[in-house]
Amino acid sequence: GQSNAPDYLKGLNPEQRLAVETTEGPVLVLAGAGTGKTRVLTTRIAHILATGKAYPSQILAVTFTNKAAREMKQRIGILIGEGNVEGMPWLGTFHSIGVKLLRRHAELAGIKSDFTILDTDDVVRLIKQLIQAEGLDDKRWPAKQFAQMIDGWKNKGLGPADIPEGDARSFANGKGRELYKAYQERLQTLNACDFGDLLCHPIRIFRAYPDVLKEYHKRFRYILVDEYQDTNTAQYMWLRLLAQRPEGVGKSANVGGKPISPLEGEMSGRTEGGASHRQAGGTAPPSVASGDISPSRGEIGRSSAETRATVNICCVGDDDQSIYGWRGAEVDNILRFDKDFPGATIIRLERNYRSTAHILGTASHLIAHNEGRFGKTLFTEKVAEDDEKVHVHAAWDSEEEARAVGETIEAYQRQKHNLNDMAILVRASFQMREFEDRFVTLGLNYRVIGGPRFYERMEIRDALAFFRVVAQGADDLAFERIVNVPKRGLGEATIRQIHDTARALRIPMLEAAAKLAESDELKPKPRAALREVAANFERWQKALETTPHTELAETILEESGYTDMWKNDRSVEAPGRLENLKELIRSMEEYESLRSFLEHVALVMDAEQNESLDAVNIMTLHSAKGLEFETVFLPGWEEGLFPHQRSLDEGGRSGLEEERRLAYVGLTRAKKNLHLWFVSNRRIHGLWQSTIPSRFLDELPEAHVEVAESGNSYGGYGNSYGGGSFASGRGGRQNPYGASRFDNVGAEKSGAFSNTYATPGWQRAQANRTEATDRNWGSRSGH
Ligand code: ATP
Ligand code: MG
C-alpha cells in the first residue's frame, strides 16, 4: 500500500506508479510534454535496482543526449542513494552504447576493437578519394552529397546490398551501390567506422551470430528508452533485436516470485572481453562485414513462436514531440509499439506537472492544428491567481527584439529570478548572434547549450580570420587558419616553408608568403596559389581605406572563394553556415569600422562560459527537448523563420507539421513565464524583409494569450505599422492568407486582440488559411 511504499514511489500519480511497477513485459508510456515520462524512467530504474531485480549492469537505458544520461544517473542516485547505483555502464545514447558493443565484438564486423570513429570531414575526404578512384568527376558528384546518402541509408539500416535500385542509380551514373560497397571495404581496411556503423555493425552481428545476441538477451534484463518518438529505423531494428528474445531467455526469474539473486544474474550475463563471440567461432563472413542487413521491417516485426516472449522493455515518448524526421526519425515506431510487442501495457499520463494552465492551454491548442497525431488530453492542477498569460510581443526588427528580451530578463532579475532559470530558444542558430551581442553589452551572463557560441562557429572563425589579416597583416594565427581555406593545394610542407621564412626574416607570415610566391623555392602550383593569396590580401588591405567595411567584408568572402565553398557544399549544415555568414556581415553594420567590429568580437569571445555561473541559457529549439525552465523566451515567430522556409519548401504538409511540433516543444519547456516575439523586419539570407507574423501565432488561443502593451521602447510603433495592417503598405508584399489577427497589433495598443477575435469571420478566415497555406507555401521555391 501507499503507506509502506518506498520514498521514491511516493508522490507519483497512479498511472506513473503503474508504469514504474509494471517491470515485466512491454510497457509504452505515450504522453504529452511535462507529464513525467522521464521521471517515470528514472524512478523505474531506481525501483528495479532497489528491489534487486537486476544489477546496474543488467539495465540498458537509452537517452537522447549524453547530458540526459548524466542527469538520469544523478537522479537515480538521489532516489536510492549513490552507493546503490555503482555506475550504469549501459546507460547512454544509442551511439555511446553502440561503440561499447562494437568494441567488444569488432572482429565480427571485420575490424579490430581499437577501431577509429571517423568524423564527417574524414568520411567526406575518404569518399572523395573513392569517387576519384572510379574516374568520376567529384564536382559533378560531390562527396558530401554521397556521404549524406550513406548516412540516410544507415539510418534506415540499409547495407550496400539493400539500398533501393532507384537510390543506387541516382548517384554517379548508377555506381551508387559499388561506391557504397567500396566505402565499407575501405573503412574495414582502415580499421575504422562511421557513426552509422555504430548501430549498423551491431545489428549485423546480432543477426549473424545468434549466440552473441543470446548473451545480451541474458544480460539486459530491462530495457528502457526515452524520447522513443525520435528513434530512426536502424535504432528501432537494434532495439527490436535486443528486446525480442526466444521464449525463456532473459525472462526474469522473479515474475511473481522472490527477487533473483543479483549475483546469479550477473554471472549468467557476463561476457567480458568478447569471450562469447570467440565461442561463436571463426571470422566474420564477408557478407556480414560488407554490410548485409535485411531492411525488412516485416521480418523483424514477425511474431513467430520463436520471438514471442516476455520482453521487459519500457519506452516513453510523445508523438507530438517528434522533431527529427529530417534526420530519419520515424514517428511510426511509437505508434506501432503494441503491434511490435504484443500484450504491451500502454499507459497514458495526462497530468502535466511542469506548466501553468495558460502555458499548457496554449501549447495544446496549437498542436491540435496538426492532423497526423494520436491526440491526447492534458491537464494541470498548477493554477494560481497570479499566473500570467502567455505574452506575445511585437518588435520593429531583430535588434529591438534582442533589446526588449534583455530588458525583460533584467526585470525578472530585479524580482530575484535566477538567470539559470531562463532560456531563449531559437529556431535557427543565426538568431543567437543578436542576443549574445546584446547580453555582452548589458554584462548579462549567458551560455549557449548544444553548440558553440555564435562567434565560435567554424565558418564565423574562418571569416573573422580573413578580416583579421586584412585589418592587421601580422596576425599570423589568423593567417594560418585561412591560408589554405578554401583548399588551394597548399600542403604542410609549404606552410612549414612559410613559417621558416617568416622566422628567419622576422616578418609576418603573410609577407613571407608573398616573398615565397616570387622566389623559385616552391613548385609552380603552390607558388601560384600563394601569389593569389598575397595579391588578394594586398588588394583588400588597400580597399580598407576606401570601401565601407561591410561591403569589403562581403567582397572578401566572395573573392576568397569562401562563400562559394559553402554554396557548393551539400551537407545539412551548409545552409545554416551561409545564414550565419550573412548574419555576421549584418552585425558589422552596427560598427564604424572593421577594427572596432573586431574589437567588439574579441570582447564577446572573452566572455566567460562557465557551467556554474548564473547565466541565461541560449539554444535551438531542437536541443531544448526534454528540458524545462521557469521562464522561456521564444523569439522570431515569423513566417519563413518559424515555420522555417526550408521545411515549408521541402516538406509540404508534413514539413509544416514537424515545425508545429517544434513550436509545441518550445512552448512546453516553460514552467511559469512564456514570452513570444515577432518582428516586422528581419534580415534573412542577407536581405531585409518585411515579415509576416507566424501562422502559429494565429493558432494560439485567445483565452491564454495576451498581446503585450507596447512600452516606451516601442514608441512610434503604430506609425511603423502604417495603418496597422501587415497586408498593406509593405512594398506590395501580401499576407498570403489575408486576415491575420496580428495585422492590427500595434495599431491599437490595447484591445487589438479581442477586436479581431470578435470578428465573426475570423474563424472562417483561419480555416481558409490552412488550405491557402499549403498551396502558397508548398510551391514556393527556396532562396
Ligand atoms: P518531456 O515530454 O518534455 O520530456 P516529461 O514527460 O519527460 O516531459 P518530466 O521531465 O519527467 O516530463 O517531468 C516534468 C516535470 O514534472 C519535472 O520537473 C518533474 O520532476 C515533475 N513531475 C513529474 N511527475 C511528478 C509528480 N508525480 N509529482 C510532482 N512533480 C512531478
Ligand atoms: Mg522527458
Residue 762 alpha carbon to ligand 1 centre in Å: 36
226 counts as catalytic: yes
Distances (CA, A) of 216 to 243, 481, 687: 9, 47, 56
Q: Give the pLDDT confidence score for residue 591 in this predicted structure.
A: 83
- If you average pLDDT over residues 572-586, what whole number do you get? 87
CA distance 715 to 570: 44
- pLDDT of 275 > 60? The answer is no
Cα 226 to middle of ligand 2, angstroms: 7
pLDDT at residue 775, rounded to an integer: 25
Looking at the predicted structure, is the pLDDT value of residue 718 above 70? no
Ligand 2: distance of its center to the CA of 704 in Å?
A: 24
Cβ neighbours of 372 (radius 10 Å): 11
Range in 415-419, 575-579, 636-640 the model is least confident about? 575-579
Q: Which atom of ligand 1 is nearest to the CA of 12?
A: 27
* 353 Cβ closer than 6 Å to some ligand 1 atom: yes
- pLDDT per position as a tens digit, 239-266: 999 998 765 554 443 433 333 333 333 3
pLDDT at 147: 92
16, 17, 24, 37: which one is catalytic?
A: 37
pLDDT at position 382: 75
DSSP β-bridge partners for residue 391? 675, 706
Asked whether the predicted pLDDT for residue 459 surpasses 60, the reply is yes
User: What is the 152 CA–ligand 2 centroid distance (Å)?
Assistant: 26
**Secondary structure in 3-state letters for 257-290:** CCCCCHHHHHHHHCCHHHHHHHHHCCCCCHHHHC
* DSSP one-letter code for 427: S
Characterize the bridge pairing of strands 670-684 and 687-690: antiparallel
Q: Over 50: is that where the pLDDT of 719 sits?
A: no
| C-alpha closest to that of 422 among 637, 638, 588, 616 | 616
Using the predicted structure, report yes or no on whether residue 770 has a pLDDT greater than 60.
Answer: no
Single out the residue of 662, 644, 651, 649 nearest to residue 780, CA to CA. 649
Determine which one of 226, 318, 399, 459 is catalytic.
226
Instruction: Considering the candidates 17, 207, 389, 669, report the single residue annotated as catalytic.
Output: 669
Atom of ligand 1 nearest to the CA of 665: 3
Distance from the first to the final alpha carbon of the chain: 63
Q: Which atom of ligand 1 is nearest to the CA of 626?
A: 4
| Distance, CA of 582 to chain centre | 22
227: annotated active-site residue: yes
pLDDT, average across residues 694-720: 69
Q: What is the pTM of this model?
A: 0.73
**Confidence at 379, pLDDT banded by 50, 70, 90:** confident
Answer yes or no: are the C-beta atoms of 637 and 676 closer than 8 Å: yes
Query: Per-residue pLDDT tens for 284-307?
Result: 333 343 444 443 433 333 344 334
CB of 626 closer than 6 angstroms to any ligand 1 atom: yes
| Better-scored residue on pLDDT, 600 or 153 | 153
Ranking 180-194, 224-238, 297-311 by mean pLDDT, the lowest is: 297-311
Atom index in ligand 1 nearest the CA of residue 13 equals 27
For 190, the grid coordinates are 582502415
Q: Report how far ligand 2's centroid is from the alpha carbon of 688 (Å).
A: 38
318 CB within 6 A, ligand 1:
yes
325 and 228 in contact (C-beta within 8 Å)? no
Ligand 1 within 6 A of CB of 12: yes
38 is catalytic: yes
Q: Taking the C-alpha atoms of 388, 442, 429 and 457 in order, what is their torsion angle to the nearest 10 degrees?
A: -160
How far apart CA 32 and CA 359 sit, in angstroms, is 13
Residue 302's identity, in one-letter code, is R
Please indicate whether residue 782 or residue 612 has the higher confidence score (pLDDT): 612
Report whether pLDDT(40) > 90: yes
20 lines ligand 1 (CB under 6 A): no
pLDDT band at 479 (very low <50, low <70, confident <90, very high): very high
Residue 232 · residue 50 · CB < 8 Å: no
The ligand that comes nearest to the alpha carbon of residue 226 is 2
Minimal CA–CA distance to 227: which of 314, 311, 295, 156?
314
Per DSSP, the three-state class of 355 is coil
Q: What is the DSSP letter of 379?
A: B
Average pLDDT, the chain: 80
Which of the 8 DSSP states describes residue 232? B
pLDDT at 556 over 90: yes
> Ligand 1: which of 38, 315, 364, 379 to mutate, judged by most atoms within 8 Å of the beta carbon?
38
Percent of the chain with pLDDT over 70: 79
Q: Which of 38, 43, 431, 497 is catalytic?
A: 38
**Prior bond of 643 cis (ω within 30°):** yes
**Residues annotated in a binding site:** 31-38
- Probe residue for ligand 1, chosen from 16, 39, 71 as the CB with the greatest number of ligand atoms within 8 Å: 39
Residue 644 · residue 695 · CB < 8 Å: no
d(CA 94, CA 626): 17
**Ligand 2: centre distance to CA 708 (Å):** 31
> For position 609, what pLDDT does the model report?
55
Binding site for ATP, residues?
Answer: 31-38
Residue 666 CB–ligand 1 contact under 6 Å: no
Q: What is residue 43's predicted lDDT score, i.e. its pLDDT? A: 95
Model confidence band, residue 477 (pLDDT cutoffs 50, 70, 90): confident
Query: Is residue 318 pLDDT above 70, yes or no?
Result: yes
Instruction: Find cell 535557427 and name the residue.
Output: 428
Proximal ligand: closest to the CA of 13: 1
Of 574-588, 655-669, 672-686, 724-738, the one with minimum mean pLDDT is: 724-738
**Measuring from atom 21 of ligand 1, which residue has the nearest CA?**
353
Question: Which residue, chain included where needed, has cell 543565426?
Answer: 430
Q: Contact 326/152 with Cβ under 8 angstroms?
A: no
743 is catalytic: no
Report the pLDDT averaged over residues 32-39: 95
Q: Is 63 in the pocket of ligand 1 (CB under 6 A)?
A: no
Q: Does 398 or 453 have the greater pLDDT score?
A: 398
Between CA 636 and CA 428 the distance in angstroms is: 9
The answer, yes or no, to whether residue 355 has pLDDT greater than 90, is yes
More confident residue, 567 or 647: 567
Nearest bound ligand to the CA of residue 353: 1
CA-based nearest residue to 675, from 379, 296, 371, 411: 411
**Residues linked to residue 347 through DSSP beta bridges, in sequence order:** 29
Residue 361 has pLDDT above 70, yes or no: yes
428 DSSP assignment: S
Q: Which atom of ligand 1 is nearest to the CA of 349?
A: 6
**Whether residue 34 has its Cβ less than 6 Å from ligand 1:** yes
Which residue's entry shows cell 566572395?
558
Q: Cβ(17) to ligand 1 under 6 A?
A: no
- According to DSSP, residue 737 is labeled T
Specify the range with the lowest mean pLDDT, choosing from 552-556, 611-615, 642-646. Answer: 611-615
Q: Which band of pLDDT confidence, cut at 50, 70 and 90, is reported for residue 766?
A: very low
DSSP string, 306-349: TT-S---EEEEE-GGG---GGGTB-THHHHTHHHHSTT-EEE--
What digits encode the pLDDT tens for the residues 67-118?
788 888 888 888 887 776 667 889 998 988 998 999 899 999 999 888 887 7
Q: Catalytic residue, from 321, 550, 645, 756: name it.
A: 321
